[in-house]
Amino acid sequence: MIIPVWNGAATVGAAIASVLAQQYDAALAVENLALERAAVEIIVVDDGSSDSTQAVLEGFGNRITVVRQANRGLAAARNAGVRAARGEYLAFLDADDQWIPAKLALTMRAFARDPACVMVYSDAVNVDAEGVTVSEFYNPPFQDHLPALSDLLARMWNILPSTMVVRRATFARVGGFAEEFKGSFGCEDLYFALRAREYGRFGYLGERLVFYCHSDPASMLRKRLGWIRECARAAGFAASVGHFMHNYEVLIRLVRARYGAAARGLIGSVRRRQTALLTGIGLTAINQGDAAIARASFRYALRYAPADPRTSARLAWSLMPARVRAPLAAAMPARLARSFEGPAQG
């Protein structure tokens, strides 16, 4: 199993411990399988961490294998972990998530029941950074079933990497995670699932087998705004917002080239996601006094939804000086003022 980590000293130890705590006996005995603890490799890919991640990993000694590389992002880190692994089945766990003790046992039982299955994934419990439950499920009810390829092409589908276990042969046929996806803001997992589904059916477990560390929407937007601010110092506001959209644009380009008109629904879903993210970042930025980032965000949002009058109005609002906006907002009903001055609502 592969754990990519970048500056994850605060959480990676608990992630590794959750793998070491896996229980296989009862669930696997039903299918007459044998999966010994020694057979479970733990490959941790330190993707250029600059915090104390290395010291945490050293504390596990020879119970884990550590691969170190310069920072190249989640896709490249997972691929590096697969190259170092020897097993027939490849499992993934992000460094801030954790498995429940029966996760691997139930997953391997699903493979045993369906030899034609190419990948098994499950639902998860959303928790915050303190481990408090945010939501009892990760997958929405309408996605609580096995997806056909047409389902994956119709909309963005929730398949959490920390729940995935895939056959090595399928991983090889797909070519791994596409390294055109950069950084840690996603989309590489969605495209990987699409490609894997071409080669056979999935197994889906409705049980919540993973604790997924999930920021509330407001915290997530603040985190992304901080990342855009950091990039803006070197590249400017517009370029930094565009860089944030990079993985979404890569996803759209790849699925359009591979699936053509069949991916129209997915592309529309991605565009709506981009617009919502940019609007949220813009509102969070203007609330924090970053009108330049707000303007760049709203301008980018209009590229994806040019006919949206709300985004046009927010852009016009962000162009006004703060001294003009403040009394106008004070005279508005609170809900209307918030829709212009933020912060974004979850």
Query: How confident is the model at residue 218, as a pLDDT?
Result: 63
Token pair listed for 258:
């591979």
Mean pLDDT taken over the chain: 89
Contact 162, 139 (CB under 8 A): no
* Partners of residue 167 on adjacent β-strands: 89
- Rounded to an integer, the average pLDDT of 170-192 is 92
Flag whether pLDDT at 50 surpasses 80. yes
Task: Report if residue 340 sits inside a domain.
Answer: no
DSSP 8-state class, residue 146:
P
Q: Quick one: average pLDDT of 232-254?
A: 78
Residues 100 and 142 in one domain: yes
The owner of tokens 């860089």 is: 243
Q: Range of 228's domain? A: 217-320
One domain, residues 58 and 18 = yes
* 233 belongs to a structural domain: yes
The verdict on 98 and 66 lying in the same domain is: yes
Residue 344 lies in a domain: no
pLDDT tens figures, 310-323? 999 999 999 999 99
The reported pLDDT for the residue numbered 38 is 40
DSSP for 5-34 reads ESS-TTTHHHHHHHHHT---HHHHHTTT--
Q: What is the CATH number of the domain that holds 285?
A: 1.25.40
Cα–Cα distances (Å) from 75 to 204, 225, 232, in that order, read 23, 22, 24
**pLDDT tens figures, 296-308:** 899 989 999 898 9
Let me know if residue 343 belongs to a domain. Answer: no
Q: Phi and psi for 120 in degrees, rounded to 5? A: -120, 135
Q: How many domains does the chain have?
A: 2
- Angle, helices 264-287 vs 291-304, to 10°: value is 160
What CATH number did the domain enclosing 27 receive? 3.90.550.10
Residue 2's nearest CA partner among 171, 123, 135, 129 is 171
In a domain, 345, yes or no: no
189 and 51, same structural domain? yes
333 within a domain of the structure (yes/no): no
